[in-house]
Amino acid sequence: MNHRLENKRALVTGGSRGIGAAIVKRLAREGAHVALSYVSKPDQAQATVEAAQALGVKALAIQADSADPKAVIGSVERTVSELGGIDILVNNVGIAVIKPMDEYPLEDFDRTFAVNVRAVFVATRAAAKHMKAGGRVINIGSCNAERMPFAGGAVYAMSKAALVGLVKGLARDLGPRGITINNVQPGPVDTDLNPANTEFAKMVTSLMALPRYGTGDEVASLVAWLAGPEAGFVTGASLTIDGGFTA
């Protein structure tokens, strides 16, 4: 593996499992020191940290609820303190509550917005204070920002669509400082929360050009490219990796 990110310092929110863990490991393979935040399951967080450390980089886990702005800021500040700075922020954490409109509690609406949108803004603002030219902010959005083909997903789709506008605006704020910000918009990805062997998965893959779920490693490869030097002229973009879900 080419160490294109050697000695860069990264924070991956929600990085203990699934797509987040794949991103942590990929950044570590490319030479970046990595912090990850998690809200529960410290054993999974520690396992991901140890996998990154085995690749010869510094790694640490930070417990933080992304619905709490103070915890989000604290995770950035601890990353800076323990890794000596921050060059890459991956806003990966997200939640999805799928319910019909008439049954959707406002508490779930508020938490979805807090985790999927507000936390991205709060973390980006906190990290940008410490970033130099060449800094990278990468959000994990969703192809559901462009297509929601079943009922009950309106609030989730809204929260991910909000990131599209957010990166367009923040690209203007951060561009003069040489910092880029982009979205990665995955389609269905095989994780423990969304396995590829269910009846729901069969329905979803029937809507896709490539009739299969993606992998966390495939998403992580796009994130690593955006974090690297080749993507220095890409900003304000939403890059879809969805097997043709939105084709």
**pTM value surpassing 0.85:** yes
CATH class of 9-241: alpha beta
All residue ranges of the chain with pLDDT < 50 are: none
Domain coordinates in residue numbering, the chain:
9-241
- Tell me the C-alpha distance between 80 and 84, whole Å: 5
- Tell me the C-alpha distance between 90 and 229, whole Å: 16
- Tell me the C-alpha distance between 94 and 61, whole Å: 17
pLDDT tens digits for range 175-201: 999 999 999 999 999 998 899 999 999
Quick one: pLDDT at residue 193? 84
Quick one: pLDDT at residue 2? 77
Tokens standing for 42? Answer: 């410290």
3-class secondary structure, 11: strand
pLDDT tens digits for range 197-228: 999 999 999 999 999 999 999 999 999 999 99
- Tell me the C-alpha distance between 95 and 80, whole Å: 26
The catalytic residue positions are 156
